[in-house]
Chains A and B, each alone.
Chain A
Amino acid sequence: MADTYLLILLTLDATLRVATPLILAAMAGLFSERSGVIDIGLEGKMLAAAFAAAATAAVTGSAWAGLGMGISVSIGLALLHGFACITHRGDQVISGVAINVVAAGLTIVLGIAWFHQGGRTPTLDASARFTEHALPFADAARSIPVIGPLYAEVISGHNILVYLALAVVPLTWWVVYRTRFGLRLRAVGENPAAVDTAGISVTGLRYSALVIAGTLCGIAGTYLSTAHSAAFVRDMTAGKGYMALAAMIFGKWKPVPTLFACLLFGFLDAMAVRLQGVELPVIGIFPVQLLQALPYILTVVLLAGFIGKAIAPKASGTPYVKERT
């Protein structure tokens, strides 16, 4: 019994680790899409940030410098997205795809040219990474039944970026639903003409949303290469940006449901890792690929309107044209 409980706790612990970049990227997508800009480029921004952070941390020996560079590069790509589809009213999906492809190529090309390790960055020392922090009394609490192990295994012992991701969710909720900026943000995603009529800049609002999205993707990417792992490897994000996009849709463009979608997807991933090659009674070898595909299948089913209805912000995907003369 105690063993099973510990196993569940360890799976939850893994869930949280896997879900962290999803949460950050999904919140990034939420800001962008709530302002009316589709963000397929979450993947590319994360990937570029992961590379920039690992490269900077490897050279400077500072994880915080890595974080700064990761965020800067990610914001740079977000601004490029804005330049293409806000300023030049280009297609938002195409711009996102372009960012993903450029990031996939540049991270490898620069990685090989700078570090000569086939696209890998040098392995980071513990001092150049975001390492795990035990929360106060974690060890002392371990002996308390039930709650003790939960506290010690699941809640304590993560790096600071995990806690940051968890803090970002209520913050996002507060910004989107309780501030003037949030009200305008939601309005500009539904009816930009009304916001414009009120004398507020649609362009300005959308650019700020993209900068926020860039910041969050930057943290997500930094987490991957300097906290979750100790180096950047090619194609490190491996579809996490798209999964975050799916989680955001699954959470119906709302912060708290999106958090739960990320945790669910993270849990499925953690389960897939745990069940790899394990013989189960009755079923035999479990097809882990089903677990890996489940987030995408669930999202499609949701989008099809079979379990509730996912409705995107109304102006999402359409560039705003101020006036036609």
Chain B
Amino acid sequence: MSQPIKLPKWVDVGVIPALNILAALAVSALVILALGENPIEALDVMLYGAFGYDEAIGYTLYYTTNFIFTGLAVAVAFHAGLFNIGGEGQAYIGGLGVGLVILALDGLLPWYALLPLAMIGAALFGGIWAAVPGWLQAYRGSHIVITTIMFNFIASALMVYLLVNVMIKPGQMSPESREFAESAWLPMAHQMFAVIGIDVSRSPLNLSFVLALIASVLVAIFIWRTRWGYAIRTVGRNETAAIYAGIDPKKTIFWTMALSGMLAGMVGINEIMGVQHKLLLNFTAGYGFTGIAVALMGRNHPIGIVLASLLFGTLYQGGAELDFEFEQITRDMVIVIQGFIILFSGALAYMFNPLVARLIGRLMPARG
């Protein structure tokens, strides 16, 4: 009874996650019903809000970009058995790295020369912000969940201090840096499409989306096709076995967290270099936390993560439409759905296993 139930692979990868998400959506639908609105109508409005016109699609993919980065960040850490709750702070500090690079060089270099430097800035700052908790976990035994939570708050205080006291544009009330020179902005999707003669409405979607897709491919190759990825998965499965295989778990934990933070930091490329074009407070807007839901839903695989990010991008953009169409529900409904997805795809991930196992046992009697 207590043995984990063994299910066929297609059930484990396909049926169970689908059931979990359906459960999350069903509970969310019940909430909408309880508030006196029609969940099917809400879904309809959200889908229209996310895909109904080309500007909406742009917004949806712009949100998707952030979720891919934070989802990959959480997933990489999960593979080493680490729970990185600090994506929010790492993205925040990564954005600081991007901002510092561009503020220093934006008059001198065009965007394509700045981009690699800004990415190094994001990776360095985000990476360090995660590597410190990683080091503390590996060498001092400090619980990574707690330290990454603490680092989120420290990041938030640090950014408020820097923007209010140091980096604020002189003669301005709101705590923001000066705007970057326009030559340093990442190309927007509508500009890129205009080059090839296609007219697309203006939206925040920018080149970062392509970077996010490339990052997904690279992470997939890294995790399943390199010795470092093998080391990460081995440490995640069984630290003792890793030691016998000649892998140093401590070093692996440290570098996995650094990599995780680097990926989270890339949110700064999309937000700061791509959309806001200045440093400001709270530009991470919870994307780091959504990364947890994305990774859980995508089962820590880049393909799953891209799909889950697209779903959350749809929810975020489509959710905004709820405000206009309904009396009783607002875009905050999306946070509720996100919470139920973390609950059912994460904490209650195995709830349906015994049920499905019994069903399968009945439908497909033992095959020898």
A134 contacts B by Cβ under 8 Å: no
The answer to whether A101 touches B347, judged by C-beta atoms less than 8 angstroms apart, is no
The answer to whether A113 touches B329, judged by C-beta atoms less than 8 angstroms apart, is yes
Measured between beta carbons, the chain B residues less than 8 angstroms from A325 are 1-3
Give B53-86 as 1s and 0s: 1 = Cβ < 8 Å from A's Cβ atoms: 0000000000000000000000000000001010
Which residues of A64-88 are within 8 A (CB) of B?
80, 83-85, 88
**Cross-chain contact of B330 among A101, A112, A293 (Cβ < 8 A):** A112
Measured between beta carbons, the chain B residues less than 8 angstroms from A305 are 140-142
- Shortest A92–chain B CB gap in Å is 8
Give A105-127 as 1s and 0s: 1 = Cβ < 8 Å from B's Cβ atoms: 11011101100000100000000
The number of chain B residues touching the other chain, given as a range, is 35 or more
Q: CA of A193 to CA of B19 in the docked complex: distance in angstroms?
A: 33
Q: CA of A84 to CA of B150 in the docked complex: distance in angstroms?
A: 25
The answer to whether B2 touches A84, judged by C-beta atoms less than 8 angstroms apart, is no
Q: CA of A90 to CA of B353 in the docked complex: distance in angstroms?
A: 12
A138 contacts B by Cβ under 8 Å: no
| Nearest residue, chain B, Cβ from A303 | B142
> Which of A95, A99, A296, A299 is the most central at the interface, judged by chain B CB atoms within 10 Å of its CB?
A296
For chains A and B in complex, what number of residue pairs have CB atoms within 8 angstroms?
154
Total A residues in contact with B, Cβ cutoff 8 Å: 53
Measured between beta carbons, the chain A residues less than 8 angstroms from B149 are 40, 242, 245
The answer to whether A101 touches B142, judged by C-beta atoms less than 8 angstroms apart, is no
Give A292-316 as 1s and 0s: 1 = Cβ < 8 Å from B's Cβ atoms: 1100110110011100000010000
If over half of A's interface residues share one DSSP class (helix, strand or loop), that class is named, otherwise mixed; here it is helix
The answer to whether A101 touches B143, judged by C-beta atoms less than 8 angstroms apart, is no
- Shortest A319–chain B CB gap in Å is 11
**Cross-chain contact of A296 among B142, B150, B160, B293 (Cβ < 8 A):** B150
The answer to whether A109 touches B142, judged by C-beta atoms less than 8 angstroms apart, is no
B48 contacts A by Cβ under 8 Å: no
Measured between beta carbons, the chain A residues less than 8 angstroms from B136 are 300, 303-304
- Shortest A281–chain B CB gap in Å is 19
Which residues of A224-278 are within 8 A (CB) of B?
239, 242, 245-246, 249
B242 contacts A by Cβ under 8 Å: no
The answer to whether B158 touches A106, judged by C-beta atoms less than 8 angstroms apart, is no
A195 contacts B by Cβ under 8 Å: no
The answer to whether A91 touches B143, judged by C-beta atoms less than 8 angstroms apart, is no
The answer to whether A239 touches B147, judged by C-beta atoms less than 8 angstroms apart, is no
The answer to whether B157 touches A324, judged by C-beta atoms less than 8 angstroms apart, is no
A323 contacts B by Cβ under 8 Å: yes
**Cross-chain contact of B146 among A105, A303, A321 (Cβ < 8 A):** A303
The answer to whether B330 touches A109, judged by C-beta atoms less than 8 angstroms apart, is yes
Measured between beta carbons, the chain A residues less than 8 angstroms from B296 are 94
Q: CA of A285 to CA of B161 in the docked complex: distance in angstroms?
A: 12
The answer to whether A249 touches B146, judged by C-beta atoms less than 8 angstroms apart, is yes
The answer to whether A299 touches B339, judged by C-beta atoms less than 8 angstroms apart, is no
A97 contacts B by Cβ under 8 Å: yes
A9 contacts B by Cβ under 8 Å: no
Give B325-368 as 1s and 0s: 1 = Cβ < 8 Å from A's Cβ atoms: 00011101111111110110011111100000000000000000
The answer to whether B350 touches A97, judged by C-beta atoms less than 8 angstroms apart, is no
The answer to whether A84 touches B332, judged by C-beta atoms less than 8 angstroms apart, is no
Measured between beta carbons, the chain B residues less than 8 angstroms from A38 are 145
The answer to whether B330 touches A84, judged by C-beta atoms less than 8 angstroms apart, is no
| Nearest residue, chain A, Cβ from B148 | A300
- Shortest B93–chain A CB gap in Å is 13
Can you sample 24 A-B contacts with CB below 8 Å?
A40-B149, A85-B347, A90-B347, A93-B83, A94-B347, A98-B347, A100-B339, A102-B336, A105-B332, A105-B339, A109-B35, A109-B335, A110-B35, A112-B328, A239-B153, A242-B150, A245-B149, A290-B161, A297-B150, A297-B154, A299-B146, A303-B136, A304-B140, A325-B3
Closest 7 CB pairs of A and B: A105-B335, A102-B339, A101-B339, A95-B347, A105-B336, A293-B157, A98-B343
Additional pairs, 9, CB under 8 Å, beyond known A90-B346, A119-B332, A304-B136: A38-B145, A91-B347, A102-B343, A109-B31, A109-B35, A112-B332, A300-B142, A300-B151, A323-B2
